[in-house]
Amino acid sequence: MRLVVARCSVDYTGRLTAHLPLAPRLLIVKADGSVLIHSDGGSYKPLNWMSPPCTLRTTTRSAEEAADDPEGAWIEQWDVLHDKSGDRLRVRVYETLEDTSHELGIDPGLQKDGIEAHLQVLLAENIETLGDGWSLVRREYGTAIGPVDILARDADGAAVAIEIKRRGEIDGVEQLTRYLELLNRDPLLAPVRGIFAAQAIKPQARVLAGDRGIDCVTLDYDALRGIDDVASRLF
């Protein structure tokens, strides 16, 4: 990755036309070929950019050559041409304040805490949080249309299918309804009731679940991990 802080102007031509007048900006050239222009505000969003696949060509000039140019004293010009659309990003650098390059290597990707897979594992390991005497039958219990997240048995030995979402919405209730329909065809399991579990459940999903005879449970991720002292809470 190349990071350049420079006084520059920027012109974009193609499906649209845009111009950024001369000002200090951060220019980023990534290993995938993309080029991004940032200001010191605007959060994460660049002022302008070119996504790959694209080709970057640079033209440099000496100070003497730049001084003789009636169009302006730019010392370096970047022409970024998109290989498919033909759009062009032109950056004219008038003064380079910083220019560094870094080899970042392959990024392992964002690992989100509290995603559905983590919640499934934690709830399976702490199935008793749903009630005393509960036991785990299996995670990812297979059906003809895919696996339900958890199959458990309550204190009375009745089968319970549990579908887990990070955010509980109507689609998740519909998904669990289909699982329950298939599971209740198995005489070794039936009757099977359902639990829709999530860190947050939308009101519409609660209403639909109640209409389908499905219980809703809000999961506390920190409590499942054992790092939330529930007893010390004021609320």
Residue pLDDT, tens place only, 31-44: 999 999 999 987 78
Work out whether the CA dihedral 150, 152, 154, 160 comes out positive or negative: positive
CATH code, domain with 92? 2.70.180.20
Any domain includes 160: yes
Q: Does 97 share its domain with 132?
A: no
Q: Does 127 share its domain with 26?
A: no
Q: 3-state SS of the chain?
A: CEEEEEEEEEEEECCCCEEEEEEEEEEEECCCCCEEEECCCCCCCCCEEECCCEEEEEEECCHHHHHCCCCCCCCEEEEEEECCCCCEEEEEEEEEEEEEECCCCCCCCCCCCCCHHHHHHHHHHCHHHHCCCCEEEEEEECCCCCCEEEEEECCCCCEEEEEEEEEECHHHHHHHHHHHHHHCCCCCCCCEEEEEEEEEECHHHHHHHHHCCCEEEECCHHHHHCCCCHHHCCC
Domain hosting 59: range is 2-101
How many percent of the chain have pLDDT more than 90? 74
In the chain, the number of structural domains is 2
Q: Which of 75, 101, 127 is the last residue of a domain?
A: 101
> 54: pLDDT confidence band, cut at 50, 70 and 90?
very high
Q: Does 152 share its domain with 79?
A: no
Q: Does 79 share its domain with 130?
A: no
Q: Does 74 share its domain with 173?
A: no
What whole-number distance in Å separates Cα of residue 36 and Cα of residue 47? 8
Query: What is the reported pLDDT for 22?
Result: 94
**Exposed (0-12), middle (13-18) or buried (19+): which is 66, by Cβ within 10 Å?**
middle
Residue 29, CA atoms < 13 Å, CB-side half-sphere: 18
Query: What is the reported pLDDT for 90?
Result: 97
Query: What is the reported pLDDT for 71?
Result: 63
Q: What is the mean pLDDT of the chain?
A: 90
Q: What's the Rg (C-alpha) of the chain? A: 29
pLDDT at 233 over 50: no
Any domain includes 180: yes
Q: Does 221 share its domain with 131?
A: yes
Query: What is the reported pLDDT for 146?
Result: 93
Q: Does 95 share its domain with 178?
A: no
For range 167-185, the mean pLDDT: 96
For range 187-193, the mean pLDDT: 95
Q: Does 172 share its domain with 78?
A: no
Any domain includes 106: no
Q: Does 125 share its domain with 216?
A: yes
Q: Please list the residues that pair with 99 across neighbouring strands.
A: 4
CATH code, domain with 145? 3.40.1350.10
Q: Please list the residues that pair with 152 across neighbouring strands.
A: 136, 160
pLDDT at 232 over 70: no
pLDDT at 230 over 80: no
pLDDT digit string, tens, across residues 96-122: 999 999 998 887 765 555 477 888 899
Q: Does 223 share its domain with 142?
A: yes
Q: Does 151 share its domain with 211?
A: yes
Any domain includes 109: no
Q: Does 92 share its domain with 156?
A: no
- The better pLDDT of the pair 7, 70 is held by 7
What whole-number distance in Å separates Cα of residue 188 and Cα of residue 11? 69
Q: Which of 73, 101, 129 is the last residue of a domain?
A: 101
Query: What is the reported pLDDT for 235?
Result: 42
